Amino acid sequence: MTDYKIWLGYLSTLIAFIAFAPYFWDVYKGTTKPHAFSWLIWTILQAIGFAAQVYGHAGPGAWATGLSGLFCLIIAVVAFKKGEIKFVTFDWVALVGAFLAIILWLLTKNPFYSVLLISVCDFIGFLPTYRKAYHLPFTETLSEYGLSSIKEVVAILALRTFSFITTFYIASLAISNLVFVSMVLVRRRKLK
């Protein structure tokens, strides 16, 4: 493994720290209200994604996924206390859909299908946050999502092995975060 891959792995984890720090601060201040279901789903999916990357020999490119999973768990716990806990039917459908996809992944026992399914699950898990942020666009810390997109790109560059198993999930995260930031910025402009 070349030294620059290790440094890129360090850089992606540093970006994860930088991305999550203002989010944690804004949750603490009460200006950001994380959607509990989304963060619970992301915790599970990040853990599965990290395991798949380790299985696929991702090397330093997996470090940020593992750290992000830990941060997601902390936010999920806090979200059930201080975040968005008013759930509509759509939120329950998204949560059940994500868990069903995880069960399908467990049944397939194929890394290709597991990565594809957790990517779909992650998008499903994002839908309650998309819905909430669409209606309340000022209740999210966009720097976390924007920096997370950058973190994922750096993590891809840090991968020791490039394959669908190691790359697709984190690439889908980068795209989902970027689309989310764009949607919230448009909504904020529209509401001002």
167-190 confidence digits (pLDDT tens): 999 999 999 999 999 999 999 999
pLDDT at 63 > cutoff 70: yes
Which residue, 148, 176, 134, 129, is CA-closest to 33? 129
142-151 confidence digits (pLDDT tens): 999 999 999 9
Taking all residues of the chain, what is their mean pLDDT, rounded to a whole number?
89
Spell 129-151 as b/e; 16+ CB within 10 A means b: bbbbbeeebebbbbbbbbbbbbb
| Cα–chain center distance at 189 | 25
Tokens for 148, please give them.
């997370």
